[in-house]
Structure 1
Amino acid sequence: MTDFEIPGAKPETLLITLTGKDRPGVTSSVFATLALAGVEVLDIEQIVLRRRLILGVLVTAPRDWKKLRDAVEETAASLDMSVDVDRGTGDNKARKGGRSHVTIIGTPLKAAAMGAVAGRIADCGANIDRIERMARYPVTAIDLHVSGADPDMLRSVLAAEAARQGLDIAVQPANLLRRGMRLIVMDVDSTLIQGEVIEMLAAHAGCEPEVARVTESAMRGEIDFEESLRARVALLEGVPESAIGEVYDAIQLAPGARTMVRTLRRLGYRFAIVSGGFSQITDRLAEDLGIHFARANELEIVDGRLTGRIVGAVVDRAGKAAALRQFAAEVGVPEAAVIAIGDGANDLDMLNAAGLGIAYNAKQMVRDAADTAVNVPYLDAIMYLLGISREEIEAADAEAGIVTPSPPV
């Protein structure tokens, strides 16, 4: 027991809050003053907003706490900063209930929308303990550390508010899974890449409109995926094999796709693509991007032309989920550590099988069923849900000699 503790009483503490223009040596000067009093540090927060520093330090209060207060005020004056010293008892109150990370993505993020989200969190009896900016361009992404509410209940409440405010909001339990090595399983058409490969192939057969209509119906879940796929592939009969190479060369990745894969691979993540499309395309994509696993349907080719048939079993809705489980087992991670990303009805089983299912620019029925939805056209925005900031991404790219666009001034 130290000389400032009384048996059975809550320990007295001092909350020291320093504000002013940031400069080198501010934090070290404050702690040099605190060191002379021999106090213990119980908590600390420091942020810098537009070169203005806010430093909060919670310390044990010595017997002669007024002497320490005077010394801290003298130090602050020498730094041309303001300081407030508040005497009280105890540490930060431990809040009952779960802890969550609430990630908010807006383009832009309006003050009214942020206020509405904060209001719903308060309505749940929860508290925002910490706020961090993950990105300010091309989207604004904010991560809230929230305590005092069950994550599932919070997710339900904030999903409704996100729809009202036109935001993307993800709620994840605050646990070690967010920091561990994970497996990311992605759909391909309209997720990893822009557009649908089968429609691009159909353009070579002169039946693109018909194929597009069936594709849309299948993605909305109106017709059986396998039935629709076989019907669409039948229309490709006679298309030369060379068309596959032409389609591959014309593919455009989703904005941010390379950045996401490159960055997360550096952190030890594993990637898989699981597609109702075709292995002749997905295998090349996997090789190009450095993706570890790929699963898709195989087009039958005879004498240099498509036969209009598929070789083997169809990778459908159930097949995608089965592939996810197989890849997770091969990597050695639980399904709770898998992140699945998709946009169509045939992705639903895969999204439900994952620990975090993300509907990416998806149909409404998929957004309603997924854990969260990302509706901005940047695939790398998903990294903000994992606690990785834009600044960290750009710093890693700079070390590797990769030039990234400058933010708007």
Structure 2
Amino acid sequence: MSTAETAETTPVLITTTGPDKPGVSSVLFAALTSQGVEVVDIEQVVIRGQLVLGVLVAVESDPEGLQEVVEQAMASVSMHVDVRIGSAIGTDPFAPDRRGSTHVLVLLGRPVTARAFTQVARRLAEVGANIDSIRSIADYPVTGLEVYVSVAADTPEADSELRSMLADVAARGGLDVSIERAGLARRAKRLVVFDVDSTLIQGEVIEMLAAHAGVEPQVREITEAAMRGELNFTQSLERRVELLAGLDESVLDEVADQIELTPGARTTIRTLKRLGFSCGVVSGGFTRIIDRLVNDLGLDFAVANDLEVADGTLTGKVQGQVVDRAGKAATLRRYADEYGIPIGQCVAVGDGANDIDMLTTAGMGIAFNAKPALREVADAALSYPYLDAVLFMLGVTRAEIEAADEADGLPLVRP
């Protein structure tokens, strides 16, 4: 049994605040050492150069003497200190907190306003959720906060209520919000699959090909019909590809040269690879163009459609089985099995209705600037055009990303 667990000890909570500088902790702990106390708990945070250091100790005798020693020590380094003894701390301060947080929220905004955060905090309180801790995870290109919360009645019903409430707050407050269960599973993700068009890259490849063929308006009309539910993906793809018949195959390379990555795409893939993730793309687009991305970004795999070519021109047909909505989900499962990764440890990122099955199959589905139908079923929805926000949703901080880039000799890129 430790000293802190005996009835003879008195709890003392010491909170030190002031400018962060070398020597503060050593002075405080030298004072504590001189009094022979036992450290029960400790926590420290630095906010823009201001230090908050809290230490809970157990004292066998003369807690008032300890208070005097600590106050003198902290005055010597120009720090403010608050000392609370015994019942002034609260009930049962030595009781261990083994439950921990039940959920982790990530809030992204540009910026995160005080009004928006107030709405989040108020709604959390309404469902009986307590905010345990908050940390900043990003200041560029969006502001990101990671919020750990505890729900008193941790039931499936409470979980659903929490998700619904936060979705409403996000829509009203201009925030991107994700929510996951806290625990090891959150940090165990190992495979990320991206859609390509309007996700990993900007724009739609088939529309770029249609522009070369002079049929862009017709292609867009078919796309809109599919979005209205009048055509399924396979039907819409086949009709659009028919309009490309006779196009010289060299246009495929021209369009591949014109591809622009979504801002943050390189950073996202580079960081995920550093963390040991397997990364790939599953697309309703075309292999010949996507193969460039595989080589450029160092992706582990890519699955897409093959355009039929005869005598140097497009025939207007797709070879083999079309990668459709169901095919995307099946591909995710196939590569999860191939890499030996449980599906719950997989992440899928996409923007359209064609990605619904893939996102709902993955352990975490992220809708990126997505259509309403996809946002409704996703675990997280990103509305800002920066793909590296995916990293923040996974708990990676901007500081960690930039430190890793600096270690590899890469320049810091900020406007």
TM-score, length of structure 2 as denominator length: 0.93
1:336 to 338, 341, 344: 344
Residues 1:195 and 1:140: Cα distance change in structure 2 (over 3 Å): same
1:75 to 64, 69, 73: 73
Partners of 2:181 and 2:228 lie apart in 1 by 30
Provide structure 2 residue ranges, at least 5 long, that are not aligned to the other structure: none
TM-superposed CA distance for 1:177, in Å, is 2.6
Matched with 1:65 is: 63
Indicate whether 1:134 and 2:140 are aligned: no
Indicate whether 1:252 and 2:250 are aligned: no
Q: Which amino acid aligns with 2:112?
A: L
1:366-398 Cα distance to aligned partner (Å, 9 max, x none): 111111101111000111111111111111111
Query: What aligned pairs does 1:8-407 form with structure 2 within 5 A after superposition?
Result: 12-87=10-85, 88=89, 89-91=92-94, 94=97, 99-148=102-151, 149=154, 150-219=158-227, 221-406=229-414
TM-superposed CA distance for 1:301, in Å, is 0.6
Partners of 2:279 and 2:5 lie apart in 1 by 54
Q: Which amino acid aligns with 1:126?
A: A
TM-superposed CA distance for 1:110, in Å, is 0.8
Q: Is the 8 A contact 2:132 2:147 kept in 1?
A: yes
TM-superposed CA distance for 1:4, in Å, is 6.5
Q: Is the 8 A contact 1:21 1:81 kept in 2?
A: yes
1:13-70 Cα distance to aligned partner (Å, 9 max, x none): 2221100111111112212222233333332221112211111122223322112111
TM-superposed CA distance for 1:406, in Å, is 4.1
Residues 1:90 and 1:307: Cα distance change in structure 2 (over 3 Å): same
TM-superposed CA distance for 1:222, in Å, is 4.5
TM-superposed CA distance for 1:124, in Å, is 1.5
Paired positions, count: 405
Q: CA RMSD in A?
A: 1.9
Q: Which amino acid aligns with 1:147?
A: S
SS in 2 for 1:379: coil
TM-superposed CA distance for 1:79, in Å, is 1.1
TM-superposed CA distance for 1:90, in Å, is 2.2
1:205-239 Cα distance to aligned partner (Å, 9 max, x none): 11011112222343464521101000000100011
SS in 1 for 2:388: helix
1:173-211 Cα distance to aligned partner (Å, 9 max, x none): 112133235100110000000100000001111101111
Q: Is the 8 A contact 2:391 2:397 kept in 1?
A: yes
Q: Which amino acid aligns with 1:17?
A: T
Partners of 2:178 and 2:208 lie apart in 1 by 33
Partners of 1:4 and 1:184 lie apart in 2 by 46
Residues 1:156 and 1:93: Cα distance change in structure 2 (over 3 Å): farther
TM-superposed CA distance for 1:288, in Å, is 1.1
Q: Is the 8 A contact 1:361 1:375 kept in 2?
A: yes
Residues 1:14 and 1:236: Cα distance change in structure 2 (over 3 Å): same
TM-superposed CA distance for 1:5, in Å, is 4.8
Partners of 2:133 and 2:196 lie apart in 1 by 36
TM-superposed CA distance for 1:126, in Å, is 1.1
Q: Is the 8 A contact 1:99 1:151 kept in 2?
A: no
Residues 1:105 and 1:92: Cα distance change in structure 2 (over 3 Å): farther
Q: Which amino acid aligns with 2:54?
A: G
TM-superposed CA distance for 1:94, in Å, is 4.2
Q: Is the 8 A contact 1:198 1:277 kept in 2?
A: yes
Provide structure 1 residue ranges, at least 5 long, that are not aligned to the other structure: none
